[in-house]
Structure 1
Amino acid sequence: MSSYLSRCNSCKVESGCFMVYDRSNYTGNQYFLRRGEYSDYMRFGLSDSIHSCRLIPQIIFYEDRNFQGRSYETSSDCPELTSYLSRCNSCRVESGCFMVYERPNFMGHQMLVRRGEYPDNQRLMGMSMSDCIRSCRTIPMHRGQFRMRIYERENFSGQMHELMDDCDSIQERYRMSDCQSCNVMDGHWLTYEQPQYRGRMIYLRPGEYRSMRDMGMGPMDMRIGSIRRIMESC
């Protein structure tokens, strides 16, 4: 904070959720802040003025549409929402970015949700077979280079190409008939079913994906048509 202010003794959170610290580099005593006004740092337990802060991803799930029924709030990955709610038919993202999935363990149809309100999951997920969210994954902020390798066939075989930026059509740019495995070295990416970033999507974070099943889809569920970096902080 000292790069911008000589001291910081009060703050107002306009939107989102933050953790504030009474030392630099996210150390010392800390306090979680939601939207609201905080007129005196001493009231929330810090021994000194605010010296650093960090955005905290926050999402709230509701059993029924329009934010009704019981709710569950989280800032981290959740492989099985039914451990907390019998169903989930709406959600509200307070801060950050999340990927939500129609099946447990980050499988099935998925959708990126940014800060905002989503009163009806059937409209959000774009499907009629299942309108409930079963799992979610937080998308961390990434600063630095982006790099991934895509392969035409499973188990890193066939044609291979390396990406460091967005690709609006892998068929046109690389003349690849298909993309069935990949290795994400740096950054977080979204793959889309169709060119020009349209259709269903798959979230990929750093790691090896030997098949479409490793990416969270069955081998016949989806083909990859375009790929985009997740660059915004949401």
Structure 2
Amino acid sequence: MFKCMVVSQIVFYEDRNFQGRSYECNSECPDMSSYFQRCNSIRVESGNWILYEHPNYRGHQYYLSRGEYPNFQQWMGFNDSIRSCRISPQHHGSFRVKVYEREDFRGQMMEFTEDCANVNERFRYHDIHSCQVIDGYWMFYEEPNYKGRQYYLRPGEYRRYTDWGAMSPRIGSFRRLHHF
């Protein structure tokens, strides 16, 4: 019996509309600086990817699923810098996250199993200082309605907002990362 494995693949292009030098990637890459100078368009052939502005998975983060992104504004990019990437693992099952109003899991806590388009409406404030991702993979957004800076969270404990790469505790919305 043969088992078919889906290989994740993404292609980065230096110029808009899939022009210029390109670099194909099918695995996690902590530093892509030597492969291209800038990234102005991306084609995700398969898989779901988390892209980072700086090497070693630092800086602005972007979640991309299969599709074409002819310019960096299409993936809500702040600039044309992509320097590291990783594949978002497949998750089949439930989703569960606990968010806290204070660091180290203190203060008011709310548990979510669904997306939240507006944290302030549901949580009565927009600062999340710590969280525990129990099940699934989640994306936090700085603004309501899934806009602004993005933060990718895997299962684990985040004692303070800097643990998920944020510069402030402001979170406006968050959603589950489904893989289709």
TM-score, structure 2 normalization: 0.86
Deviations 1:1-39 (A, max 9, x none): xxxxxxxxxxxxxxxxxxxxxx3xxxxxxxxxxxxxxxx
- The structure that has the greater radius of gyration is 1
Unaligned runs of 5+ in 1: 1-22, 24-50
1:109 aligns with 2:56: no
Q: Tell me if structure 1 keeps the 8 A contact 2:126–2:171.
A: no
1:139 aligns with 2:139: no
Structure number with the bigger relative contact order (C-alpha 8 A, sep ≥ 6) is 2
Q: Tell me if structure 2 keeps the 8 A contact 1:192–1:199.
A: yes
Deviates more, 1:142-151 or 1:100-109: 100-109
CA drift of 1:145 comes to: 1.1
Partner letter of residue 100 of structure 1?
L
Cα distance in 2 for residues equivalent to 1:187 and 1:196: 20
Q: Match for residue 46 of structure 1?
A: none
TM-score, structure 1 normalization: 0.68
Seq. identity, %: 55
CA drift of 1:194 comes to: 2.3
Q: Match for residue 30 of structure 2?
A: 79
Q: Match for residue 71 of structure 2?
A: 120
What's the Cα RMSD here?
A: 2.1
Structure 2 CA distance for partners of 1:195 and 1:122, relative to 1, 3 Å: closer
Q: Tell me if structure 2 keeps the 8 A contact 1:191–1:226.
A: yes
Cα distance in 2 for residues equivalent to 1:117 and 1:203: 21
Q: Match for residue 7 of structure 2?
A: 56
Q: Match for residue 226 of structure 1?
A: 173
How many equivalent residue pairs? 180
CA drift of 1:55 comes to: 2.0
Deviations 1:104-154 (A, max 9, x none): 222222222121222322553442xx3221111211221111111111122
Determine which of 37, 43, 53 is the counterpart of 1:92: 43
Q: Tell me if structure 1 keeps the 8 A contact 2:38–2:80.
A: no
Cα distance in 2 for residues equivalent to 1:137 and 1:181: 23
Cα distance in 2 for residues equivalent to 1:124 and 1:167: 20
